Structure 1
Amino acid sequence: MSAPLPKLLVVEDDPGLQRQLRWAYDGYEVLIAADRAAALTLLRAEEPAVATLDLGLPPDPDGVSEGFAALAEMLALKPDLKVIVASGHGERESARRAIAEGAWDFYSKPIDIDALGLIVARAFHVHALEAENRRLAARGDTVTGLVTAAPEMLKVTRMIERVAGADVSVMLLGASGTGKEVLARSLHDASPRARGSFVAINCAAIPDTLLESELFGHEKGAFTGAVKTTEGKIEQAAGGTLFLDEIGDVPLPLQVKLLRFLQERVIERIGGRRAIPVDTRIVCATHQDIDAMVADGRFREDLYYRLAEIIVRIPALAERSGDAVLLARHFLKRHADAMKLPVKGFTPDAIAAIEGWGWPGNVRELENRVKRAVIMADGSHVTADDLDLTGDGAPALPINLRAVREAADRAAIRQALAHAEGNISGTARLLGISRPTLYDLMKAYDLQP
């Protein structure tokens, strides 16, 4: 049995346009409403994901009052609905107002069916990504604190879930700002040690002379200023998990002491003379090329194998299909709520800028830009200017147009396969192509369901 077609609500009172739009969207189940009441009835009964809305509805076909009333009620009834409003020539102000009041995008009359079709397809795609993210967030066994729907990142979360229950050391490898501490904390929360403490320390942020004391603690009088006996981070995490961020910055002499703890599960505080048994799980992370450091002698090979019983490689944000927009919406809501600002979403140009940016600073850069934009936004929606997405962070120019198309095809097919759960027919419908064409593309790009 084939999957049901996505539902598209068309709110339009012109019978000719109704027929044209119904004919144009054979890949969707098209629901036609000629006025506000009919639109709300269909919205309740069918729950479509996307709607197109002509602002000139009866009894005010020459104005926009009825259209804006319909927009407000539709979004109140179904907040995740993607509404695309019609804007005639000379009515750009109405389109801007509609976006400010929650519309997802707009199109101009007279209608260009192909252009509108692209907007509608993109709206369905974004709605599917957001729905997938909500579904994952609601699962009890998923990685907590992580917002993603990208196949590249879901592979990482499944790996974290599998290794959480095994009492082994885990090494997280990824660029700065990719969420290594979030994953480490999630691993702890999903493990049998969840009742114990999760203690994090950034090894690069502490001077070498103090790092040993931070990790292992010291006895009273061990050195000038040691006025009392102090437990180190390893002891503080007893029964729980110690997260060592930037493990590559630990100096060689201290690596020896850390290796002894991992081998014997005992520590000695600075100035102490007795071995203290400690049951602490180690999770570490680094953005450096740890294999090269081992080869160069800057990191002990025996310590590496003790710390890297399981290695998890975290993709950069630019490699996580669709996640930039999902995360941006998440951060916008979080910071707007925290600062009690009336910012509700992004304008279409902001969404396009987010999707096109290279994100060299990964998730951390994205959150910082969104937080700043929420503060700087003049209206209820963040614009591309508010995000200040210009300059060196933009992706490099591709070698040619074919490379651009191939990259776009690969990303679109991977995303569609994920949202159709590997179903080829469903994937082809999401992409608007035939099954044979999809098979040919998957073969050409070596992609699997």
Structure 2
Amino acid sequence: MRIAMIGGGYVGLVSAACFAEFGMHVSVVETNPQRLAALREGRIPIYEPGLDALVISNTQAGRLVFGDDIATAVTGAQAVFIAVGTPPRNGDGAADLQYVHAAARQIAQALTGYAVIVTKSTVPVGSSRRIAQIIRNVRPDLDFDVASNPEFLREGSAIDDFMRPDRVIIGLDQTQPERAGRAENVMRQVYRPLVQAAAPLVFTGLETAELTKYAANSFLAMKISFINEMADLCEKLGADVEDLARGMGLDARIGRRFLSPGPGYGGSCFPKDTLALSRIAQENQSGCRLVETTVQVNEARKAAMAGRIIAACGGSVVGRTIAVLGLTFKPETDDMRESASIPILHRLAEAGATLRAYDPVGMDAARALLPPDVIYCADAMEAAQDADVLVVLTEWNIFRALSPEVLAQRMRTKAIVDLRNIFDPAAMRAAGFLYQSVGRP
């Protein structure tokens, strides 16, 4: 089976590599010259564990090819995936669909035979029907169907999520049953290896599939904001949020995942998708107050965490050196988009702090987003050298093994603000640290 993937970014590249691993021939279209050159040379422009090996092996096997010509890529393809960016639109947070619509026009001009055109990008409800209309306007004679196939890939575990998904959502135009049946047959062939592995394929209408993506991410974001508010309440009452989260998470109706308190969610999905869902609800005069409040709670959370660090320094960070461990929005990724480190470090720099930072993979991406005078260090211990306070912003596993005694020797003042609860409070106190975590006594 032949597949074309329009867009070689995070979603497009991971999806293309995994489809190729299934044994399909996948042509990836990437119009950014630097990114395309890197992919052709086997250099992966993003950090995702295991992706480099997957891309290289399938490229060498001839199942995965990269180019910038859509006509070449879609020739003979039974399915053409649109996986281009949909960044938030300036002003209102709605998804910017200019790249999706441009890809649809180019696909329409290039196709020579029947294909299912699949939106893999996260798009507002109604976008798939709009794509179909654009294609008909360009090529009234073209035989095609559209499908919505939202991705549910977690950065840091995207390959496993693709290969062993909780479910695969596929939206089709169910107002035309015969055409929907034809498109369904194609999509079943696309995901045949997952069907054989007993992964659930859920076929819905176009609008339902598009909305499911936003609803799922917004619900998870809401869980994060909820546990962060519970952490604040635990601090007021002398309760322990870790025990609270365990007690809640053992309830099968709730589940343990996304109940870890911290400085607020970030990344490429949750901030963008919660804003977009709020906008969709507003445009359709439908209440979405839980999601709107989730967005507000998350923004306030990041500001509050900066204030917490300043308070740990006695109310002023002027002349103080702060060691920062972790910059990316989560571990196992170099993604800095909407990371809590951005507003927090800007606030600290504006307040007069000297910032010494270390992140295992995110420092190159961080330089353009963080204050210009941040000092980037070779490792965690270098960052801690002569620091007045050490702040944990990302829960990389290598930080969990840091010796409290060695940290105490390196730092000027024994103070830690652990915004990810990675350290043992008793061990830190035994080493003489003034230790603050989130939601724990």
Give the shorter-chain TM-score range.
under 0.3
Q: What TM-score, normalized by structure 2, do the two folds share? A: 0.23
Q: Whose helix proportion is higher, 1 or 2?
A: 1
Q: What TM-score, normalized by structure 1, do the two folds share? A: 0.23
